[in-house]
Amino acid sequence: MSDQNIFLNHFSYTKWIITLLLGFSAGVLDVSFFYIIMGIVMWILYRCWKPSTEPSAIKCQDKAKEQAKVPHKVTDREFERLRYLQVLVNNSWPYITKYLEKFLRWRIQPLIRSRFKYLTNFHFFDIDFGNKAPQVTHMRVQSDPEKKQILLDLKISLNAAVMVNVGISKTIMAGVKSVKLEGTLRIILAPLIPDVPFTEAVNIYFPRRPVLHLQWTGLTNLLNIPGLHTMTERMIVDQIANFMVAPKFFTQPLAANFDMKNLPFADPWNALRIHVLEARNLVANDFFSKKSDPFVVVRGGGTVGKTRVISKNLNPQWNQTFEILFSDLPGQEIEFEVLDKNVQRDDSLGSCKIAVPHVLKKKFIDKWIRLDNVKSGELHIKVETLKLFSDRDKLQKVLNLNKRPRPPKSEELSSVALYTVIQKARGLPVIRPKKCKLNPLATVEVSVTDTVKRTGAQINSGEPEWKERLQFLIRTHAARECN
């Protein structure tokens, strides 16, 4: 029996309640709002485990059986409506906003400074999220004892007046007056441990893109900045929304000895080869020619790929291949959107999705998928799950396999997945920005053949530490050198 099962079995009624109260008072005393989340989870778990006559709750069986068998899922029920949750959220909102403020100043501000050349003095001036808490109406709890994690899904909606002002050096340039946010937030408690605080870390993200609307003041000032002038309001909001969506997640360690590599979903160990083959019966978008100029956008694993445009064809054949690495972060999808190429704005010809766990389970998928949000149209897709091997003998086999003749115009396939960890640097020169007291920052740019990835920004004290994990897929021609 694993440690975690022991901890779940031995937890008694009283202990749940005490944990809840402890969690709650810790929050009120401004220790950390994560303890409040912990408190909620403990309470829910207690509810699911207590002996009960409710048909939906898991009944306690006799002692021996109970020892032998811990239910795999805490609850399979769909989202349930919970009123007490809103009370908790209302009460913890002041602490959550304090946390968000720190998060923007200490995590987001340096990130923006390091990413945009013209924003090295980017600054959050005011951050006030108001006192209206988001509505958290529905919740679902799932546990995965095998992976030692508990999933908590919260349906949240926020529609509030806020005051967030940003600028450069000492000048306020733009601000956000109100925020509308709607989506399902997932909190993963992992890895679980049989000791306080019961989980080494709290991980937060949106499995799907939330709906986000911002009301701006002075946005044109911001968009006039050289590095930003090619952006639109839509693109800025997209960037903000994408920042919170899988495969990105935010981790708050709770245990002192937490290490990122203990998370079951820290690294993307699943490689998928996605073939976008063809489509049929697409709708005609051009009124005069009764045709469309279709292409497909493939999104997944934090990457975006595009096929070529095939003009004036409602049954196009692309035969193109995309390779993407996926982590085991629950709830990920591969999204396909068929678009009609236009001079001004590309119009949608429908979209469809495949769940990544479904592909991983089946290993291989070859099917026509009906496109959503459109009158007619189907997309033919093939997805293969690639196995990653760590022994060198297999590489030559793969290289030979990938060298086999392929149809013209098709992309080269990958043969090697490279995993890097950027730990720290030593003896870096510290270049202080002139005329301001801001800390100098350092990022690492790693380029492997034609792919470039960057770490986040860390304060450069001469020995900055990133501890970031970056992964690359390497195509066959470049992989020969790895042998």
Ligand X SMILES: *[C@@H]1O[C@H](CO)[C@@H](O)[C@H](O)[C@H]1NC(C)=O
Instruction: Kindly tell me which residue out of 55, 405, 407, 427 binds ligand X, with binding defined by CB under 6 A.
Output: 407
> Looking at the chain, how many residues does it have?
483
Question: Nearest distance from residue 405's CB to ligand X, in Å?
Answer: 12
Instruction: State the Cα–Cα distance between residues 128 and 130, nearest whole angstrom.
Output: 6
Q: Which is nearer to ligand X, 407 or 427 (CB)?
A: 407
Q: Would you count residue 251 as binding ligand X (CB under 6 A)?
A: no
For position 81 contacting ligand X by CB under 6 A, the verdict is no
CB of 317 to ligand X, least distance (A): 4
The single residue among 12, 25, 61, 317 that binds ligand X, judged by CB under 6 A, is 317
Sign of CA dihedral 74, 75, 76, 80: negative
Q: How far is the CB of 308 from ligand X (least distance, A)?
A: 10
Q: In 10 A of CB 413, how many CB atoms?
A: 20
5 binds ligand X (CB under 6 A): no
By rule CB under 6 A, what count of residues binds ligand X? 8
Q: Which two tokens mark 118?
A: 């013209």
Amino acid at position 36, single letter: I
Nearer to ligand X, 177 or 467 (CB): 177
| Cβ proximity to ligand X, 88 vs 119, nearer residue | 88
Q: Which is nearer to ligand X, 87 or 355 (CB)?
A: 87
Out of 137, 319, 402, 451, the only residue in the binding site for ligand X (CB under 6 A) is 319
Nearer to ligand X, 134 or 210 (CB): 134
**In the set 81, 132, 370, 397, which binds ligand X (CB under 6 A)?**
132
90 vs 439, beta carbon nearer ligand X: 90
Q: Can you tell me whether residue 301 is helix, strand or coil?
A: coil
Q: Quick check: 133 binds ligand X (CB under 6 A)?
A: yes
- Does 427 bind ligand X (CB under 6 A)? Our answer is no
CA-wise closest residue to 60 among 72, 68, 69, 50: 50
Q: Examine residue 311 and tell whether it contacts ligand X (CB under 6 A).
A: no
Single residue of 17, 21, 87, 401 touching ligand X by CB under 6 A = 87
- The answer to the question of residue 406 lying near ligand X (CB under 6 A) is no
| Minimal distance, residue 87 CB to ligand X, in Å | 5
Residue among 90 and 242 whose Cβ is closer to ligand X:
90
- Which among 208, 372, 349, 366 has a CA at the least distance from the CA of 273? 366
Nearer of residues 133 and 245 to ligand X, judged by Cβ: 133
Distance CA 317, CA 123 (A): 49
Report if residue 137 touches ligand X, rule: CB under 6 A: no
Burial class (CB in 10 A: 0-12, 13-18, 19+), 432: exposed
308 near ligand X, judged by CB under 6 A: no
Instruction: Examine residue 86 and tell whether it contacts ligand X (CB under 6 A).
Output: yes
Q: What is the DSSP string of 407-422?
A: -TTPPPPEEEEEEEEE
> HSE-up of 283 (CA within 13 Å, CB side)?
17
3-state helix, strand and coil shares in percent for the chain, rounded to the nearest 5? 25, 35, 35
Contact 213, 237 (CB under 8 A): yes
DSSP letter assigned to residue 208: S
Catalogue the E-assigned strands of 73-170: 80-81, 122-128, 135-144, 149-168
Query: What residues line the site for ligand X (CB under 6 A)?
Result: 86-87, 90, 132-133, 317, 319, 407
